[in-house]
């Protein structure tokens, strides 16, 4: 009786959840009407438009077609959400498409990977069971979605999970009459370093090797770095420094290989970049399903000096700068054109300066400055608790200085400059109480600064005893 009662209760909950969610579907906009064409997009912060609010890939593609294809008005439906792994993205897509049923033509752009994993280990039994149950029971699907939103550490972190849900997105698109266009995920290989372990002897080895590179003795540095490369704790950072040393020697293909290995090995930091395994999974799925692919990772390599993506095309670790965004928009537009019988579109100029690109897009300097502050704060955030934050914080300072060029006197940029300076020279970002204070007041990731006299006083107090320079003196 107890078992029957539990089963009846579970069935009742399942039917209630399904009934509760059905009206939301029928009451929503269920797809483009006859004279329209749907352009859906799913992914994370890059597809959402980070750091350039209002300049997302789908919006730029729509503009490239002047808002219509073969007389059908383009209706952009951007489902991308920053910070999400691919599972909640597929959840949102399934909800969005459940009533569409192929009413009109359309495409789905998929750019996802930085919040997932390239870990090749086999999925656990729990992970396999979760997949099976969430496909059969709405209650389980909803529960898993909200658990992951509330507790991000519960994410499934395997390459198999990434491949599985990517395939689900492709299938959902096709079942709803959409043509999927997938993309590999590009990363800043050269100008973002991995996390260095808190090991004084290892840190001294890095300092010694980097000093050798700086003094023109890169071959000696390579031998030194290679001697410790087998240790899994230090492999990622040594691979990065091996990349720098080979670049110094002009061995660019070898340098790129080491930079990529640094990304593939580094899964312990407080941010992630898509691995080469993930990008190969995307390419393989595109081949198997016979669908269009924008190979953004390969595109950025072709367009980068010496084939090594860095700050030339990135605003931070994995968000493209405006030149990178334009490259992506042009490629997604080209693939969309192929889907719709070579529909004509206008390519954005890839050779112009950022200032001219922004001017052509009508993007004001104040919003450009905000984008640079967002990127600078992203770089500051991923420097928290780091033993060697120098590279990241110097990049952050460059972003804040650019923000001040665009918007002189911007308090958030001035605060960011001081914060980067205190983090690089004085260890401000390794102090637990400082990090808790920043988190409490929302000073990570966004474009906020100390916004009251009381916060400014607290910040000044926290800087006492920490070595700072001109940026902090000018701000305080």
User: What's the order of all strands across the beta sheet hosting 106-111?
Assistant: 68-69, 72-78, 36-43, 106-111, 179-183, 292-294
Rounded Cα distance between 408 and 376, Å, is 16
Give the model's pLDDT for residue 396.
96
In a domain, 205, yes or no: yes
Containing structural domain, residue 467 = 365-475
Say if residue 356 is in the same domain as residue 374: no
Say if residue 376 is in the same domain as residue 356: no
Say if residue 97 is in the same domain as residue 118: yes
Give the model's pLDDT for residue 133.
62
Two tokens at 218? 């890169």
Per-residue pLDDT for 55 more than 60?
yes
Length of the chain counted residue by residue:
476
Say if residue 385 is in the same domain as residue 462: yes
Per-residue pLDDT for 59 more than 80?
yes
pTM (2 d.p.) = 0.89
Query: At which of 317, 339, 363 does a domain end?
Result: 363
Coil, helix or strand for 218? Answer: helix
Give the model's pLDDT for residue 185.
97
Q: How confident is the model over 164-209, as pLDDT tens digits?
A: 999 999 999 999 999 999 999 999 999 999 988 889 999 999 999 9
Q: Which of 41-55, 102-116, 432-446 has the highest mean pLDDT?
A: 41-55
Give the model's pLDDT for residue 188.
97
Say if residue 291 is in the same domain as residue 238: no
Say if residue 55 is in the same domain as residue 139: yes
Per-residue pLDDT for 56 more than 50?
yes
User: 258 vs 198, which has greater pLDDT?
Assistant: 258
Two tokens at 96? 């969005």
pLDDT category of residue 270 using cuts at 50, 70 and 90? low
**Strands, DSSP E only, in 70-192?**
72-78, 106-111, 179-183
User: 120 vs 341, which has greater pLDDT?
Assistant: 341
Which of 193, 338, 322 lies closest to 269 in space, CA to CA? 193
Rounded Cα distance between 166 and 282, Å, is 8
């Amino acid at each position: 009786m107890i078992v029957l009662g539990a089963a009846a209760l579970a069935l009742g909950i399942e039917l209630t959840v399904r009934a509760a969610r059905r009206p939301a579907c029928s009451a929503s906009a269920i797809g483009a009407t006859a004279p329209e064409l749907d352009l859906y997009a799913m992914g994370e912060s890059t597809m959402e438009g980070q750091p350039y609010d209002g300049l997302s890939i789908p919006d730029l593609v729509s503009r490239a077609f002047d808002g219509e294809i073969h007389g059908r008005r383009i209706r952009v439906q951007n489902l991308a959400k920053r910070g999400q792994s691919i599972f909640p993205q597929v959840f949102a897509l399934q909800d969005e498409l459940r009533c569409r049923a192929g009413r009109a033509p359309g495409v789905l752009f998929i750019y996802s990977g930085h919040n997932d994993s390239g870990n090749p280990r086999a999925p656990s039994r729990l992970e396999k069971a979760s997949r099976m149950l969430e496909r059969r029971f709405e209650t389980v699907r909803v529960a898993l979605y909200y658990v992951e939103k509330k507790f991000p550490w519960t994410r499934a972190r395997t390459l198999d999970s990434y491949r599985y849900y990517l395939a689900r997105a492709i299938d959902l698109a096709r079942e709803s009459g959409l043509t999927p266009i997938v993309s590999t995920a590009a990363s800043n290989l050269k100008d973002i370093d991995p996390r260095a372990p808190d090991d004084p002897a290892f840190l001294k080895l890095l300092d010694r090797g980097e000093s050798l590179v700086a003094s023109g003795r890169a071959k000696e540095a390579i031998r030194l770095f290679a001697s410790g490369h087998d240790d899994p704790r230090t492999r990622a950072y040594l691979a990065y420094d091996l990349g720098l040393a080979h670049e110094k020697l002009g061995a660019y293909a070898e340098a790129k290989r080491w930079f990529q290995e640094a990304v593939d090995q580094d899964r312990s930091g407080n941010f992630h970049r898509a691995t080469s395994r993930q990008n190969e999974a995307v390419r393989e799925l595109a081949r198997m399903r016979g669908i269009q692919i924008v190979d953004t990772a390969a595109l950025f390599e072709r367009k980068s000096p010496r084939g090594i993506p860095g700050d030339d095309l990135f605003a931070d670790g994995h968000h493209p700068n405006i030149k990178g965004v334009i490259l992506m928009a042009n490629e997604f537009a080209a693939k969309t054109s192929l889907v719709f019988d070579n529909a004509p579109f206008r390519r954005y100029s890839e050779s112009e300066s950022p200032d001219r690109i922004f001017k052509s897009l009508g993007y004001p300097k104040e919003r450009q400055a905000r984008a640079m502050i967002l990127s600078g704060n992203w770089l500051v955030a991923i420097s928290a608790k780091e033993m060697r934050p120098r590279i990241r914080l110097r990049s952050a300072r460059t972003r804040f200085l650019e923000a001040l060029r665009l918007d002189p006197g911007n308090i958030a940029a001035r605060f960011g400059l001081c914060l980067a300076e205190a983090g690089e020279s004085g260890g401000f970002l390794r102090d637990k109480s400082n990090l808790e204070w920043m988190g409490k007041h929302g000073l990570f990731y966004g474009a906020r600064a100390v916004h009251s006299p009381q916060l400014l006083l607290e910040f000044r107090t926290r800087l006492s005893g920490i070595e700072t320079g001109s940026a902090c003196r000018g701000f305080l």
